[in-house]
Structure 1
Amino acid sequence: MANGSLLRGTLILTLATFISKTLGLIYIFPFTAMVGQQGLALYTYGYLPYTILLSLATMGVPMAVSKFVSKYRALGDYETGYRLFRSGIVVMAVTGFVAAAALFLLAPVMAGWIISNPDELEGNQMSDVVFTIRMVSIALLIIPAMSIVRGFFQGYQSMGPTAVSQVVEQIVRIVFILASAFLVLYLLEGTLGTAVGLAVFGAFIGGLASAAVLWMFWRRRREGILADVRASTVQHNLSYQTMYKELIAYALPLSFVGLAIPLFQFVDLFTFNDLLQAGGYSQGEAETAYGVFAQSAHKLILIPMALATAMSINLIPSITNAYTEGSREHLHHQMTQAFQIVLFLTIPAVVGLSVLALPAFGTLYGFEDLGTGSTILRHYAPVAVLFALFSVSAAMLQGLNEQKYAVAALIIGVVVKLGLNVWWIGLFGPLGAVYATAAGYVAAIAINFWALRKTADYAFGHLVKRSILFVSMAAAMAAAVWVVREGAVEFFGFSGWSDAFLVLVFSVAAGGLLYFVLSYRTGAAGEVLGSRFAFLRRPPRS
């Protein structure tokens, strides 16, 4: 396939991923309005174990299958890729069934770990947690098998099936979530547990829609693919054992590092509520704080991380090429650019989000849990920088074929998180989980940076200097935002949604404008983004 077509396919897949993630953020606002923070906590009780098991069941399969099929196509052996495709669907169907059965049967045990001290008068009931976990487990029957199909199409450099199926899956899932919650709570006057249980069942409904899309693509392309298989010029005649050994070698590192955020959240799932209740919180108070931490605030801080990471990750192929070609200077330049993009975009975003936590949370989630929500968001926002740095540094290590360090870093980070969670939640309440997450990521990033220094001989001196500049500009921006925020509160008041919205809009506009001016005047914007946006390059002084 021509480079232009490959680039177009990559852009299509990137756009589809961005659309899916954006939709995944937007729906949480109306959903929260219907079910509240305790409803979000219940939703997370089911969805997080599902996410972990789904990742374990698929093990990074789409990318691994894509790499496997693409490799043997290039060698003229279409049959080997097709054999993997046919057998892989069966294997993934079996692993999906095992994962679904395990999650369904273990639901009562897991529910007991999540809320070991249920309050019959306040908080989610044990039966609701079991129901929610079991409802989402059904999606595991279908989603893993689809990963093989998506990976197979991608191996043919055809990104359309994956892109379209992802977007359709997300749209159908979200429509089902919101419609079922509204139907149960407002039309049928049902319980919160029933509404959330049906909402997580949306994962299965979305999976069915996605499978239907993939089936349509397969019907249209089946004859052409089979013609390629019959025309294979080379046949490696690999055994199934050899094929899957190679596939797992591709998949495991991709799967494990991609589990970073869910694994950290998994620690909180089984420790957060019990530790808070041991410290004197009621179950309802603990679950409200957990809903904010695991969903409401978490969704918001992922926005700057996602934007920055998406732009920087695009540099990973060039980093791999530079490393393969032995061009050390180009390799270091590309690594610096990737890190700079992350820091340039995330630092001001998280600083602004921290300063504007009160109006931001009030505007997006309402005033009911404003105190708890804004406090957690204010302290949690800076952790987005760590999320992004770990993601990009781990991707670099994968590009350098040194993913073993990223895996080790993640394991150590999770262990640090677990140990500090037990200690710090007792000391700091809900904020202890935030601080423990930050400490775990700092440990993991430190190992990644050490590995990059060792394997790529990368020096961080210039990056440190640029980071100081970005922090200085963000600090100036924060001061200005604080002044504008206080002035807007005095002028508009802060007694309702419209007030919070106006305060937020004026503050964001002022902060964004000042950061842009500062970054342009200092030349930072031109250095970081000038290759993508030429207008940011400041003309030389005459």
Structure 2
Amino acid sequence: MSDSNVVRGTMLLTAATLFSRILGMIYMFPFTALVGTSGIALYNYAYTPYTIMLSLSTVGIPLAVSKFVSKYHALGDYRTGRRLFKSGLLLMTFTGFIAFLILFFLAEPIARFVIEEGSKGNTIADVTLVIRVVSLALLIVPIMSLTRGFFQGLQSMGPTAVSQVVEQIFRIVFILVTSVIIMRFLDGNEKTAATFATFGAFVGAVGGLMVVFWYYRKRKPSLDRNLEESTVDHDVSLSDMYKEIVTYAFPFVVVGLAIPLYLQVDTFFINPALQSIGYDESTYEAVFAIITGLAHKLIMIPVSLATALAMTIIPAITKSFTSQKEGALQKQLTQTFQMLLFLTTPAAIGLAVLSEPVFRVLYPTVDQDLGSHLLMWYAPTAILFALFSVTAAILQGINKQKFAVYSLLSGLVLKVSLTYPLVVLLEGKGAIIATDIGLITSVIVTVAIIKRYTDFQFAFVFRRILLIGIFVTCMAFAAKLATMPLESAMPDLYRSQSEGGSMLFSIVNLLIGIGVGGVLYLWLSYRSNLAGLVLGERFSFLKRR
């Protein structure tokens, strides 16, 4: 396959991933309006342990299979890749079934950990049910993921891209349609709607699996011809095959588990800590729903965009490190850090500064003061999530993946240790501060290891960070000043809980803040030549002549 096709395929897959994430954020707005924070909390009680179990059941194997198949196909050996695919389907069926059983039977113990017996809000029985419902998806998703990995190994990104989008559409349509029917036509309650919503994971998985199997059936004649014409067979035993797969897979698990594990710590500790200082069920579940669901969905958008662009440089880092091309490696690392911070920092800080109009526009049925306050604190955490994801990926690129594990564990230990006491001391924002401390620790460890094994000179990056920081500060002040006149002129309308005029006012104010702040940041970046230098040749039109 030509380089242009590979690049086109990678861009297609990146676009599909971003589109799926954006869809995954957008549907939360109507879903929240239908089920409220109580329903969102119940939904998130199920999804966080499900995400962790899914990561463990697949253990990074789909991406590892992609790397394995690509390697042997490049050598002209189609038989080894096909043998791995067939045996991998059996393995994923088995691990998915085991993961389903584990999550199904652990549902009640998990529920008892996050909800007190006799709670007036969501009950232990409610949480147990939603976890068991979502566990059904584990029977299908690992098989679908492996098949996607097989196609990616063939440098065919289309099946994975289409499958991701179809899976998300199936899931979201099912969630919204069933929620509307239950809440508007059947006079149901939030708990029933949230329970059906968790079944959306299974419905989406079925849709995604149908797509990849359709592609496989369509392309099987061509794949069989390649198999018949293959003259190379490395005759790799299944045991050696899976040893190689595990070597490839392990690093992917570390990065994939980081965010779900942080959210699971919040799931375990936020409710008990807030209960201990007198919060009632509806209030502590609102805090939990905002931190682990509503605000988290928002901050993951800049994280996804920045990491998707920065990650495209990782293969080049691996090649330069292996070839001992120090000059190229230094340039690539510098470009990665610059690109990440240039994109993530203004988005995160802008989200914090405009947290009040953002929350009112997107989640009008949620407690505005509480939601905007927590979003303001949580938004900068996006920078840390992005930094850890990329620095951990760099460690994989330079074959120091074990340190990514150590860094994750060091941060998690602090997160676990600090969440409960900080929530008791500082309420909801204490959980966010505990996350920040854990992630900062992990990032310090990863950066130190990168420095040690690549002798990377951070001085230049620090200067660029300072410049980005100055521009972002100017942007934040401009956005805040631009929105202040309307806020002070119409405080009653701005604080009003009525729909209509209050919503229109918030939209106008939000657009003003985004427009003024965004334009100023882009103008400063262009005038200083920062944008063109950071984003590289693909955006050379941003360079001043």
* TM-score range relative to shorter protein: over 0.9
| Counterpart-to-counterpart distance in 2, 1:265 and 1:188 | 33
8 Å CA contact 1:59–1:256 kept in 2: the answer is: no
The aligned counterpart of 2:355 is 357
Residues 1:204 and 2:210 aligned together? no
| Counterpart-to-counterpart distance in 2, 1:406 and 1:491 | 51
Report 1:146-165 matches (<5 A): 146-165=144-163
The aligned counterpart of 1:463 is 461
Residues 1:125 and 2:123 aligned together? yes
Amino acid paired to 1:64 = A
The aligned counterpart of 1:284 is 282
The aligned counterpart of 2:506 is 500
The aligned counterpart of 1:27 is 27
TM-score in terms of structure 1 length = 0.97
| Counterpart-to-counterpart distance in 2, 1:526 and 1:225 | 43
Residues 1:55 and 2:55 aligned together? yes
Given candidates 142, 145, 152, the residue that maps to 1:144 is 142
Report 1:378-417 matches (<5 A): 378-417=376-415
How far did 1:529 drift?
Answer: 2.2
DSSP 3-state at the match of 1:259: helix
Amino acid paired to 1:80 = T
Residue identity over aligned pairs, in percent, reads: 47
DSSP 3-state at the match of 1:527: helix
| Counterpart-to-counterpart distance in 1, 2:363 and 2:419 | 26
How far did 1:367 drift?
Answer: 5.0
| Counterpart-to-counterpart distance in 1, 2:182 and 2:195 | 10
8 Å CA contact 2:36–2:365 kept in 1: the answer is: no
Amino acid paired to 1:430 = G
The aligned counterpart of 2:422 is 424
| Counterpart-to-counterpart distance in 1, 2:29 and 2:294 | 8
Q: In the TM superposition, what whole-angstrom CA distance separates every residue of 1:198-220 from its partner, at most 9, and x where no partner exists?
A: 10101111111111111211111
| Counterpart-to-counterpart distance in 1, 2:192 and 2:163 | 28
Residues 1:510 and 2:516 aligned together? yes
How far did 1:530 drift?
Answer: 4.8
8 Å CA contact 1:44–1:294 kept in 2: the answer is: yes
Amino acid paired to 2:277 = G
Amino acid paired to 1:89 = L
Report 1:365-380 matches (<5 A): 365-366=363-364, 368-380=366-378
Amino acid paired to 1:329 = G
Amino acid paired to 1:46 = A
Q: In the TM superposition, what whole-angstrom CA distance separates every residue of 1:72-119 from its partner, at most 9, and x where no partner exists?
A: 222222111111111111111111111111111221111101113542
8 Å CA contact 2:37–2:366 kept in 1: the answer is: no
The aligned counterpart of 2:187 is 189
DSSP 3-state at the match of 1:189: coil
The aligned counterpart of 2:499 is none
The aligned counterpart of 1:5 is 5
8 Å CA contact 1:132–1:193 kept in 2: the answer is: no
Q: Report the more deviating stretch, 474-483 or 89-98.
A: 474-483
| Counterpart-to-counterpart distance in 1, 2:387 and 2:366 | 34
8 Å CA contact 1:161–1:214 kept in 2: the answer is: yes
| Counterpart-to-counterpart distance in 2, 1:219 and 1:304 | 37
The aligned counterpart of 2:167 is 169
DSSP 3-state at the match of 1:164: helix
TM-score in terms of structure 2 length = 0.96
The aligned counterpart of 2:333 is 335
How far did 1:523 drift?
Answer: 2.3
The aligned counterpart of 1:98 is 98
The aligned counterpart of 1:88 is 88
Q: In the TM superposition, what whole-angstrom CA distance separates every residue of 1:293-337 from its partner, at most 9, and x where no partner exists?
A: 001111111122222222211111222222222221121111111
| Counterpart-to-counterpart distance in 1, 2:313 and 2:402 | 21
How far did 1:42 drift?
Answer: 0.6
Report 1:423-462 matches (<5 A): 423-462=421-460
Residues 1:244 and 2:250 aligned together? no
Residues 1:536 and 2:542 aligned together? yes
Q: In the TM superposition, what whole-angstrom CA distance separates every residue of 1:321-367 from its partner, at most 9, and x where no partner exists?
A: 22222221121111111111111122222221111111110010015
Amino acid paired to 1:448 = T
How far did 1:236 drift?
Answer: 2.4
| Counterpart-to-counterpart distance in 1, 2:42 and 2:148 | 31
| Counterpart-to-counterpart distance in 2, 1:430 and 1:109 | 24
Question: What is the aligned length?
Answer: 537
